[in-house]
Amino acid sequence: MGLVASTVAETGFASLAGYARILMVLISCMLFIALVANPIIVFVKTGKNPYPLVFRCLRESGITAFFTRSSAANIPVNMNLARKLGLHEDTYSVTIPLGATINMAGAAITINVLTLAAAHTLGIEVSFASALLLSLVATISACGASGVAGGSLLLIPLAASLFSIPNDIAMQVVAIGFIIGVIQDSAETALNSSTDVLFTAAADPTYSR
């Protein structure tokens, strides 16, 4: 709240429109992954209509993760959902905790979008090759993001260094992340955690049959 109050005091309510646009881009990217990219992967693996499973994972895992904002805290919910789906315990007892640590698609999106927003604001031209490299770095970095609220934001300075963005500017981007973090981090965690069960089910021979 202190960050929001100081920003509004310095620049007025017009600055909130900029934050809303960034938030809209972030949420749109996460919805695309959740409702388009992930279902395609599940369909290729299982040959079944992926959407009943996708929506069940979002409903039973994603909603809880949205409010806890912690992939680690949502592990018991995911384990219970995997059990209800009839998946092999030998499989989900490994993949669910592992996914809570390294399956961070939402974190990769956050790192990418906020870093590109900073580069655009500074007038830095981003080539296709640079954007591809950023995506690779963000994906690998996201695997090291902690499964707690705001864990992905602290990796932004690493990604920003690809474009020689100074650390003080990068930390301002992190501050922006904290301003929009209530919604951004909640949606990010919902995507991350629900995908853990989704891909566990897709990879499990019991569900694929």
- The structure tokens listed for 78 are 């995911």
Q: CB–CB of 179/52 below 8 Å?
A: no
Sequential DSSP letters for 9-68: HHH-THHHHHHHHHHHHHHHHHHHIIIIIHHHHHHHHH-S--HHHHHHHIIIIIHHHHHH
Look at residue 10 in the predicted model and tell me its pLDDT: 59
**Range 2-204 has CATH code 1.10.3860.10:** yes
Give the separation between CA 30 and CA 22, rounded to whole angstroms: 13
- Indicate whether 4 pLDDT > 60: no
Q: Which residues contact 19 (CB under 8 A, 6 or more apart)?
A: 176, 179, 180
Q: What is the pLDDT of residues 21-34, one digit of tens each?
A: 888 999 999 999 99
- Indicate whether 53 pLDDT > 90: yes
Angstrom CA distances, 122 to 26, 107, 157, stand at 20, 23, 15
Look at residue 3 in the predicted model and tell me its pLDDT: 46
Mean pLDDT of 135-151: 75
Q: Which of 128, 175, 126, 167 is nearest to 150 (CA)?
A: 175
Give the separation between CA 170 and CA 162, rounded to whole angstroms: 11
Mean pLDDT of 56-79: 92
- Indicate whether 81 pLDDT > 70: yes
Confidence of residue 182 (pLDDT cuts 50, 70, 90): confident
Residue with the two structure tokens 């499973």: 53
Q: What is the pLDDT of residues 160-173, one digit of tens each?
A: 888 888 888 888 77
Establish how many alpha carbons lie within 13 A of residue 94's alpha carbon, considering only the half-sphere containing its beta carbon: 5
Residue with the two structure tokens 């646009």: 21
Strands (E), the chain: none
- Report the sign of the C-alpha dihedral through residues 33, 66, 200, 208, in that order: negative
Q: What is the pLDDT of residues 85-102, one digit of tens each?
A: 999 988 999 999 998 888
- The structure tokens listed for 126 are 């981003």
